[in-house]
């Protein structure tokens, strides 16, 4: 949802230039790199994968909600950077948790299934995000926040079940 609202929001609401938008995208990439190299290993070691995922999802819910209401450029940019860190934590934690929950022969299958679900998101994200932005430019941020909130609630319920290792076969 982020990318489909970010550019129109940055241009029409925050009145940023293309250079400023490019700089923000560069900073998001740098934050992603920092997250992968420095933050993911430390978060996993300090909190574990489950708490790291929960905290990252909670941060994503909050950042998308702040972006929806924000009309202040510095606040928006800071929120985008925090969101970049949260998003950088989610995918590695999900992959790690899925791998740990499956037996050895099923790990490849579950990773493929996870990738398929991500691909579906990459298909429907532009469709839904574009449609929502055509109604109200910041609306994809609100929808993203609500969608992630549902994922957060579901992940908390699933992670609290303490299921034994599963097999895909």
> Which residues of the chain fall short of a pLDDT of 70?
1, 162-169
pLDDT at 3: 77
Domain of 61, in residue numbers: 2-159
pLDDT at 167: 60
The residue assigned the tokens 């950077």 is 81
CA angle 124, 26, 4 (to 5 degrees): 20
Whether 11 is covered by a domain: the verdict is yes
Give the single-character DSSP code of 72.
Answer: -
Whether 54 is covered by a domain: the verdict is yes
Contact 58, 106 (CB under 8 A): no
The residue assigned the tokens 């300090």 is 46
The two most distant CA atoms of the chain are separated, in Å, by 53
Query: Strand, coil or helix: what is 102?
Result: strand
Q: Which residues of 29-43 are buried (b: 16+ CB within 10 A; e: fewer)?
A: eebeeebeeebbeeb
Does the global pTM surpass 0.85?
yes
Whether 9 is covered by a domain: the verdict is yes
Instruction: Report the number of distinct structural domains present in the chain.
Output: 1
Whether 165 is covered by a domain: the verdict is no
Whether 23 is covered by a domain: the verdict is yes
CATH of the domain at 15: 1.20.1250.20
């Amino acid at each position: 949802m982020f990318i489909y609202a970010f550019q129109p929001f940055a241009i029409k609401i925050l009145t940023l230039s293309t250079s400023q938008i490019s700089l923000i995208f560069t900073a998001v990439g740098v934050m992603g790199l920092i997250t992968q190299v420095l933050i993911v290993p430390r978060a996993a070691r300090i909190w574990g994968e489950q708490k790291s995922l929960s905290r990252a999802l909670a941060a994503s819910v909050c950042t998308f909600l702040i972006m929806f209401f924000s009309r202040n450029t510095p606040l928006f940019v800071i929120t985008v950077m925090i969101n970049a860190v949260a998003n950088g934590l989610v995918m590695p934690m999900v992959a790690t948790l899925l791998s740990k929950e499956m037996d050895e022969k099923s790990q490849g299958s579950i990773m493929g299934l996870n990738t398929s679900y991500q691909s579906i998101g990459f298909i429907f994200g532009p469709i839904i995000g574009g449609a929502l932005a055509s109604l109200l430019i910041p609306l994809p941020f609100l929808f993203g926040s609500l969608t992630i909130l549902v994922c957060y609630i579901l992940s908390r319920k699933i992670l609290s079940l303490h299921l034994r290792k599963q097999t895909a076969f």
